[in-house]
Amino acid sequence: MIKLHDKYFKPFISAKQIDEAMQRLAIEIAEDVGDEIPVFIGILNGSFMVVSDFVKKYPNPCEVTFIKLASYEGVKSTEDIQRLIGLTQDLTGRTVIILEDIIDTGNTLHEVHRIFKNENVKSLKIATLFHKPEAYKKDFKLHYVGIEIPNKFIVGYGLDYDGLGRNLPEVYQIKETQHMTNLVLFGPPGAGKGTQANFLKEKYNLVHISTGDVFRFNIKNETALGMLAKSYMDKGELVPDQVTIDMLNAEVEKNTDANGFIFDGFPRTNAQADALDKLMDSKDSQINAMIALEVDDEILVQRLLERGKTSGRADDADESIIRNRITEYYSKTAILKDYYSAQNKYFGVNGVGSIEDITVRLSAVIDGL
Ligand code: 5GP
Ligand code: MG
């Protein structure tokens, strides 16, 4: 992923794919042109890389020149097109091939055709490396198209976002979901995870997705996924990961304006962590960190026994049950600690201290992401 100005872009078309497309264009055009000496005309600025690489692959003699058109610069393309450098040579009777980096709405092409209307060229053909069929609003024929792409903004290989990105040798596509902070939050029983999750959610405008709550909600409201999950539970079987992921997906989609999510209670296994990565990837996003509150066992036992005295929770009253829950927690998190450490995304945070101290430590991790 790269950032240009305020926007994030993800790898989309590799240098190798571009090279192959350019090679195909060069061969196809050379076959059609035959013995003639064509004049290739690049449209500046964007097509400088296309033209440079294209003519190196063109197997026969040719001429090269440029015209310079300028359109509104930014993510929104082409409204007004200005002619900055026009034709400087007589092209009467010549075979002219326009080399474009990208044809989007076709507005630029419209201007190109206007320029050539009175030029008496022998033929005028249009070649473009990229074309966005969904955006194209004109009916000028495109004779040679390298790669058709969806109607999303791209940068690289000559194409810029507000001046930046032209130098990239590969092409990147804009990320629709801009940068989110997605956390997987862990903490042993008694570590104060719930308290901290509430605080983080407020401070960073994150949505707290507790898998337990999501399950209860879906089952209580008898959603299709809830009924499906229940059918497994009623048989005493584990709910398949895909069902859980589908529920989480629904939660993520309900909260499209969030700055990110705190996942709590999921993932528990490598397979689930993989599934969660895929889910985030499908949203043009990612898990940024696994944060685990670390609290010494003896302190946890004391805390939970204290809590048991007032809460009346049976599982907080018995020391051996408490110790079991803590041991189980560590055996489960160890796998995930390895999983996220391998991606440099594991952060252990000291969970001993006042609530305020711990929130300060957590914020330091998040602010550093
Ligand atoms: P058209 O005139 O066909 O709508 O668009 C052509 C011009 O718009 C291109 O030469 C380019 O300057 C700009 N453009 C269109 N789509 C994109 C895109 O996805 N990325 C970038 N960087 N520029 C684009
Ligand atoms: Mg252009």
The yes-or-no verdict on residue 35 having pLDDT over 50 is yes
Rg (CA), the chain: 29
What pLDDT sits at residue 79? 56
Q: Is the CB of 105 under 6 A from ligand 1?
A: yes
Q: Taking residues 241-264, report their average pLDDT.
A: 91
307 assigned to active site: yes
> Are 112 and 142 in contact, with CB atoms under 8 Å apart?
no
The yes-or-no verdict on residue 208 having pLDDT over 70 is yes
For ligand 1, atom 12, the nearest C-alpha belongs to 46
For ligand 1, atom 20, the nearest C-alpha belongs to 154
For ligand 1, atom 4, the nearest C-alpha belongs to 105
What pLDDT sits at residue 270? 93
| Number of residues that this document lists for the chain | 369
| Ligand 1 pocket mutation, candidates 45, 68, 100, 102, criterion most atoms within 8 A of CB | 102
What confidence tens digit (pLDDT) does each residue in 256-283 have?
A: 778 899 999 899 999 999 999 999 988 8
What pLDDT sits at residue 333? 85
Distance separating alpha carbons of residues 5 and 163, to the nearest angstrom = 10
pLDDT band at 124 (very low <50, low <70, confident <90, very high): very high
Q: Is the CB of 77 under 6 A from ligand 1?
A: yes
Of 324, 356, 63, nearest to 188 by C-alpha is: 324
Percent of the chain with pLDDT over 70: 97
Q: Is the CB of 130 under 6 A from ligand 1?
A: no
What confidence tens digit (pLDDT) does each residue in 62-80 have?
A: 999 999 987 655 445 445 6
What confidence tens digit (pLDDT) does each residue in 314-368 have?
A: 777 789 988 998 898 888 888 999 999 999 999 999 999 899 999 999 999 999 8
What pLDDT sits at residue 162? 93
pLDDT band at 8 (very low <50, low <70, confident <90, very high): confident
Q: Which is catalytic among the residues 138, 268, 323, 337?
A: 268
Q: Is the CB of 47 under 6 A from ligand 1?
A: no
pTM summary value: 0.64
| C-beta atoms surrounding 266 within 10 Å | 21
What pLDDT sits at residue 171? 98
Element containing residue 359 per DSSP (H, E): helix 355-367
Bond before 259 cis per omega within 30 degrees: no
Q: Which two tokens stand for residue 306?
A: 């204290």
Of 228, 230, 212, nearest to 268 by C-alpha is: 212
Of 145, 154, 130, 126, nearest to 42 by C-alpha is: 126
